[in-house]
Structure 1
Amino acid sequence: MRPLRLFTTVQWKVVVIYMLLILMAMQFIGAYFARQVESYYLNNFSETVNAQASLLATHLEGYLRPRDAKEQSAEEVRQGIDNLINNLVKLNGTNVQVIDSSGTVISTTEDKRILGRRTSQPEVTIALLGTRSESMRIDPRTGDRVKMLVLPVKGDNIVYGAVYMVASMEGTYMTIRKMNGILASGTMIALLLTAGLGVVLARTITTPVKEMTRQARAVADGDFNRNVRVYSEDEIGQLGMAFNHMTRRLKEAILQQEEEREKLASILTNMSDGVIAANRDGQIILLNRSAEEMLQVTMNECVQKGTTLHNLLRLPPEEEMPLYAQNEPLFIEMVLPNKDVLILRVTFTPLQHDSGKKGGIIAVLQDVTEQQRLEQQRREFVANVSHELRTPLTTIKSYVEALLDGAVEEPELSNRFLRVTMSETERMIRLVNDLLQLSRFDSQGVRLHCKDVDANQLLRYAVDRISLFGEQQGVQLSLDIQETLPEVYIDKDAINQVLDNLLSNAIKYTPAGGSVVLRAYANRHQKRVYISIADTGIGIPSRDLKRIFERFYRVDKARSRGQGGTGLGLAIARELVQAHGAEIEITSELNQGTTVTFWVPYAKGGKAG
């Protein structure tokens, strides 16, 4: 019982623990060191074998390359190979065989009986096909571990033979065993020294107390990853266990709090809706990224300036609009610093404390600008279609009633009425065709049939088609091409429709005596042909340029209808140009003129015509 009581003391526990720790450490270090030493020597051995084999294969090319028998006899070749092996192979216990392209052994360092025989080893067969082979195995004769390496001898991508090398690794493993023995001796010495040192250190009972003091300071600094080592189950050990338990619980609580905070921050950051939090005084305390992008402000800026929720959303004062009483979503329209109009749907949610006192307030923002714009476009579209169809139908109805009332008896009057009726019918047909085309674009997309087209001929033909209409309107139409254009890869019918729409628009809105110029030039760096239609017409106000490509949008609606326009020409032109992967843009000055520019891609050859 005496020895058992001895090991219940703190002193001997510390000594035993120190010895076990050193033993375990040395074991881990020894295992790591032994593995590193073994890896080093084996890698060094492999590199040496590879280097010698590669050097031998390089020099053997000259001997194995087919040559005239008069140059060198077979015996001289074999003698040269033997000398080469003796000079290059420096490793002891290495067997080298040289095999020609037919698989016949022509030189060996050990068993001379195999000379002239064909080898059937699969590694040699693989090497004669041009692939090296390397492996470690046990020599069945000696039981030694050996390294086998087979390299093809080739030149100009032709395999002339192979080098078969087997090198014994026992010398290397003997060196490794010696190193391990040295490490084991060092481990024993370290254990003896540790035992003596443990006896000295274990004489004081203050060691665990000091350790707990250091741990308390670390926890106070925020380091929860350290634990107090518990040496025994006495009072000090129990104190250490309680301290470790407290540290773990505190770490778990803090980590849980941080996780919840990170989850909330991640949710707020990645929400598509904007979120604004304000305190009980209405001052901003939080904006997520979406809210910052919508309102073009930053949270730091709002917090530093003490911006209130009313000021940020540009609402009436709290007395006029108490946000805590807002039960329904509020729609707000504001102009941003970049002059864009923003329409928001804002939902307010008040926060209450457990005591029932008023807390802060949360505002959730939804950007409904695009929805409102689409809804407005839908209403305008329906209204425009209704108006465009009602106007010609009313005219046709009026003239048909006049004809039924007796105007048909007057040939001159009836012919005029019928011509008007025909004109209005054609106008409705154009409108319906344009609507059907746009509807087909929306449902099926633009289907193109592209091919290489001569751009010069395309533009000249477009001018010829529209020239008569220009003469009737008193507008001079000209073509300006400074150089011969290359072929372009387009749908010819689609681009012809684009040119017709743009040229007819330019002539319609150019007063008599004005001019319209169709220009084109090639950008050989971008491989594009740029086409522009410039007129000296009435121009477009800057406020209308952003909407000029919208369907049914017209600047001068009265004149457009008088000219027989449907308001869909530019919309169709943009759809057709963009279907080619190209772009179209318009610039204009009021009463100065308008220029519409678009580009089309080069043909695949890209050469000038």
Structure 2
Amino acid sequence: MMRRLFKTIQWKMVVIYMLLILLAMQFIGAYFAREVESYYINNFSEALNAQASLLASLLESDLRPRDGKEPSAEQNRQDIDNLINNLVKINGANVQVIDQTGTVVSTTEDKSTIGQRTSQPEVTVALLGTRSESMRIDPRTGARVKVLVLPVKGDQIVYGAVYMMASMEGTYTTIRKMNGILATGTMFALVITAGLGVVLARTITKPIKEMTKQARLVADGDFNSSVRVYSDDEIGQLGMAFNHMTLRLQEAILQQEEEREKLAGILSNMTDGVIAANRNGQIILFNRAAEEMLQVRMADVLRKKRTLADLLSLPPEEEMSLYAQEEPLFIEMRLPNQEEVILRVTFTPLQHDSGKKGGIIAVVADVTEQQRLEQQRREFVANVSHELRTPLTTIKSYVEALLDGAVDEPELSNRFLKVTMSETERMIRLVNDLLQLSRFDSQGVRLHCKEADISRLLRYAADRFSMFSEQQEVQLTVDVPNKLPPVYIDLDAINQVLDNLLSNAIKYTSQGGTVVLSAKENRSQKRVQISISDTGIGIPARDLKRIFERFYRVDKARSRGQGGTGLGLAIARELVQAHGADIEITSEWNVGTTVTFWVPFAQGGNAG
């Protein structure tokens, strides 16, 4: 608690203020104590010197030897005793009078020393004519005393000495009292200084505390309160500047939030994926379209700190060249759901104002379908050109042969004309199929649906191909119940579907093989399922997913030999799907193929 208290500016200012005052008082007190002590000791010494000098001058006549009539020794000693006793009453000093032989003549204390010679060195020095003074500790009382010895002399003759020893404890007691008064004054000054320091510090720290509190509120997003300005001084100006800064910061944050919401709205609604990475290539943002294209979640990518090159499966050598990539980059990659896609990625490097490399923005577009359609378009043009060129070349060859004289040979000319007729019919079928698909693409499939008997329709289709199956020596079998629910279909469209499927099944079944036309109802799904199975050459697994593409053939040479255009299954799928139904193929190479499609019940249709 105390440590946290003294970390505040207010208490730091108070403590510093008190320390300054205390330091000043210490210097003043030390100087004052030294001067007081010097004053009292000097005053004491001067008073003692004055009294000793006076006593020495008064004792000169008593200690000087006389030639005439002299007072008795007893009377002389009595005068000296009276003189020093009166002096003791004045300053309380211990006084001894010593004659020129070093014998104690009179004393104020121990009378037994009278008549004895003194051995004190100060007396010996004084009898030689030199005054002596010193400070010492009285061994009897332990008090500090001042010892002063003056020679008594006249006419440059020393007649004796005055020995004075005065206690200085009174003087030091006075000095201690003075120091005590100074210390007490210092304590009162410190208390008053602390109070003034607290008041002064509060006037400075209170606005700062309010600004600190306001700064925390601003950091938490609260811009509704402001700092109270108490004065026009520097702190008041700081408060006004803080309030202005808060207002400008609020406006800037609101503007930034608006821009962020706009940017987030734009990114969320973009059909292209947008991925942002920092200068190290680590992803920091991408939108919902990018999540859907790449089958990943932004939270997982950010948590794993994946890089742009890692996410797009770029090789290491291309990672450093992204900043120099000017043209879009086409990337083939496999998604987590095992789907293979083609992505077009456009990289836009970001540069700092200083010219240093910043982050990078990648705009991703899924062009898988576009590339597939472009490939199909190229293949379609190539296939149409090939399909038309082949019969035209044949027709041209036979016509040239006829013009060269073959027309004069009836048998040869008839054979050439039959081939020419066959190739012409093939081109007509091809053009009709192309026109039909073109109409489907531009106008959609237009159906004229009505309620129909599917059993009768299937048997009629089988009858149409019975002669063709006999010619191919293929057995055509019909497995259709007599009573099936009525269906809602376009008769011409379904007839065309059956014609294409039965024709393919019979053409691609070897002699002695079997083709089965079957149908069954599915009441739970309210539809009739129609299947055409054969024991023909089958379709390899790799070709099944492309079998409904236009001009796609498993065995191109054999298909052309059978007179096919490569568009039958594509037309069949368009017609079936136009009924809201679907068609699928299952096959096994050299075993056989089954084509299945379904048509919906008529409204309220049920078995008769």
- Paired residue for 2:487? 488
CA separation of 1:547 and 1:414: change in aligned 2, threshold 3 A? same
Report what 1:386 is aligned to: 385
> Match for residue 498 of structure 1?
497
Residue 230 of structure 1, CA deviation: 7.8
Distance in 1 (CA, whole Å) between partners of 2:358 and 2:439 is 56
Deviations 1:531-588 (A, max 9, x none): 1111122222222222211211111111110000001111111121122222222222
* Alignment-derived partner of residue 222 in structure 1: 220
Q: Which residue of 2 aligns with 1:516?
A: 515
TM-score by length of 2: 0.61
Q: Does 1:456 align with 2:455?
A: yes
Aligned pair in 2 of structure 1 residues 335, 246: CA closer, same or farther (>3 Å)?
Answer: closer
Q: Map of 1:297-312 to 2, 5 A cutoff?
A: 297-312=296-311
Q: What are structure 1's unaligned runs of at least 5 residues?
A: 1-204
Q: 2:562: which partner in 1?
A: 563
Does structure 1 retain, via aligned residues, the 8 Å contact 2:455–2:482? Answer: no
Cα distance in 2 for partners of 1:214, 1:330 equals 53
Residues 479 and 248 of structure 1: CA distance in aligned 2, closer, same or farther (over 3 Å): same
Distance in 2 of aligned mates of 1:338 and 1:534: 33
Say how many residue pairs are matched: 403
TM alignment of 1:317-466, pairs within 5 A:
317-318=316-317, 322-466=321-465
TM-score, with length taken from structure 1:
0.60
Quickly say closer, same or farther: Cα 1:515–1:330, change in 2 above 3 A: same
Distance 1:255 1:531, change over 3 A: same
* Structure exhibiting the larger radius of gyration computed from Cα positions: 2
Q: Which moved more, 1:337-346 or 1:411-420?
A: 337-346
Cα RMSD, aligned residues only: 3.1
Letter in 2 for 1:382: V
Query: SS where residue 452 of structure 1 aligns?
Result: strand
Aligned-pair distance for 1:395?
Answer: 1.1
Q: Would you say the 8 A contact 2:227–2:242 is kept in 1?
A: no
Alignment of 1:157-196 (within 5 A): none
What are the within-5 Å matches in structure 2 for residues 198-217 of structure 1?
216=214
Report if the CA contact (8 A) 1:219-1:247 is conserved.
Answer: no
In the alignment, residue 276 of structure 2 is paired with which amino acid? A
Report the equivalent of 1:531: 530
The DSSP-based 3-state class of the residue aligned with 1:526 is: coil
Seen in structure 2, the aligned counterparts of structure 1 residues 360 and 452 have a Cα distance that, compared at 3 Å, is same
The superposition leaves residues 198-252 of structure 1 with CA deviations (integer Å, 9 ceiling, x where unpaired) of: xxxxxxx9xx999968963861561516436989999999999887665444433
Contact 1:224 1:247 in 2 (8 A): no
Identity of aligned residues (%): 77
Distance 1:229 1:350 in 2: 44
Amino acid at match of 1:227: S
2-structure distance, mates of 1:499, 1:366: 40
Q: 1:454 to 1:320 in 2, by over 3 A?
A: closer
C-alpha distance in structure 2 between counterparts of 1:575 and 1:397, whole Å = 34
- The residue aligned with 2:579 is 580
Q: How does 1:143-158 map to 2 (within 5 A)?
A: none
2:303 and 2:241 map into 1 onto residues whose CA distance is: 45
Please give the residue correspondences for 1:90-169 in structure 2 after superposition, counting only pairs within 5 Å. none
Q: Supply the AA of the counterpart residue of 1:314.
A: S
Q: Identify the residue that residue 506 of structure 2 maps to in structure 1.
A: 507
Distance 1:588 1:381 in 2: 25
* Contact residue 276 and residue 286 of structure 1 kept, 8 A: yes
- Asked if the contact 2:207–2:228 (Cα under 8 Å) also holds between the matched residues in 1, the reply is no
Which range moved further: 278-287 or 567-576?
278-287
Q: Answer whether contact 1:215 1:228 (CA < 8 A) is retained.
A: no
The alpha-carbon distance between structure 1 residues 328 and 210, as it changes in their structure 2 partners (threshold 3 A), is closer
Per-residue Cα deviation, 1:500-553 (whole angstroms, up to 9, x for no partner): 111111111111222111111112232211111111222222222222112111
Q: In structure 2, how many angstroms separate the alpha carbons of the residues matched to 1:443 and 1:305?
A: 48
Counterpart of 2:411, as a letter, is: E
Mapped partners of 1:471, 1:230: distance in 2: 106
Alignment of structure 1 residues 543-562 onto 2, 5 Å: 543-562=542-561
Q: In structure 2, do the counterparts of structure 1 residues 279 and 340 end up closer, same or farther at CA, with 3 Å as the change threshold? A: same
Displacement, 1:602? 1.6
Q: 1:319 to 1:388 in 2, by over 3 A?
A: closer
Match of 1:256?
255
Residue 68 of structure 1 corresponds to which residue in structure 2? Answer: none
Q: Helix, strand or coil for the counterpart of 1:578? A: helix
Distance 1:484 1:211 in 2: 94
Asked if the contact 1:332/1:343 (under 8 Å) is kept, the reply is yes
**CA distance in 2 between partners of 1:387 and 1:577 (Å):** 28
- Which residue of structure 2 aligns with residue 49 of structure 1? none
Matching residue's letter, 2:592 = G
Distance 1:530 1:547 in 2: 23
Counterpart in the other structure of 2:478: 479
State the secondary structure of the residue aligned to 1:522: strand
Query: Would the aligned equivalents of 1:534 and 1:594 in 2 still touch at CA under 8 Å?
Result: yes
Structure 1 window deviating more from structure 2 (275-284 vs 490-499): it is: 275-284
Match of 2:9 in 1: none
Q: Which residue of 2 aligns with 1:162?
A: none
> For residues 397 and 220 of structure 1, do their structure 2 counterparts lie closer, same or farther at Cα, with a shift above 3 Å needed?
closer
Give secondary structure in 2 for the equivalent of 1:261.
Answer: helix
Aligned residue in 2 for 1:92: none
SS at match of 1:537: coil
Looking at structure 2, the residues matched to 431 and 414 of structure 1 have their Cα atoms a distance apart, in angstroms, of 26
**1:324-376: per-residue Cα shift (whole Å, max 9, x none)?**
22222222223334343322222222211122211222222222222221111
Q: 1:447 to 1:474 in 2, by over 3 A?
A: same
State the alpha-carbon separation in 2 of the partners of residues 343 and 594 from structure 1: 32
Instruction: Note the C-alpha offset of 1:459.
Output: 0.8
Partner of 1:14: none
Name the CA distance, whole Å, in 1 between partners of 2:591 and 2:342.
35
Work out the CA distance in 2 between the residues paired with 1:567 and 1:285. Answer: 50
Q: Which runs of 5+ in 2 are unaligned?
A: 1-202
